[in-house]
Each structure stands twice: as structure tokens, then as C-alpha cells.
Amino acid sequence: STIRDFIIFQEFQNLLEKVWMKLQGLGQASPLELGAFVILVLFVATFLFMILLCCIHCCCCGKPKYQASRVQPV
């Protein structure tokens, strides 16, 4: 399991290095690439914000607001 974890860590580190290289080259990027990058960042930020709101709602609000009604047998 340790070797597998190390391989996953190496792949993640390689991915981060590639992203870092892309970010460093963003200053010379075309307007189309800049627009695509902004849209991607907004999408990821919106997704993370929605996950945060969901966690806050589920964990901090106590009882759910809408509960299913129970039908009593006749």
C-alpha cells in the first residue's frame, strides 16, 4: 500500500508541476487562452462553494426543513 501511495503522490506532484508551468506561461497567453482559464477557475470555484454550502447546511442547520410525512395504517 505504501508503494501505491507513493506512486499516487508522484502523479499528483507531476500534475501540479504541469499546472504550475501553465500558470507561469499565462502572461504570454492569447486572449482565448486567458478566457478559457478564467471560465475554468470560475467553474471550479463555484463547485467548491456549492460543496461548502451543502456541508454548512447539512452539518450546522440541525434538523432538515422538509421531512417526508409518514402514512399511518388504517
pLDDT of res. 46? 97
- Decide if 58 contacts 66 (C-beta within 8 A): no
- The parts of the chain modelled with pLDDT lower than 70 are 1, 62-71, 73-74
For the chain, how are helix, strand and coil distributed in percent, rounded to 5?
A: 75, 0, 25
pLDDT of res. 65? 57
- Decide if 26 contacts 37 (C-beta within 8 A): yes
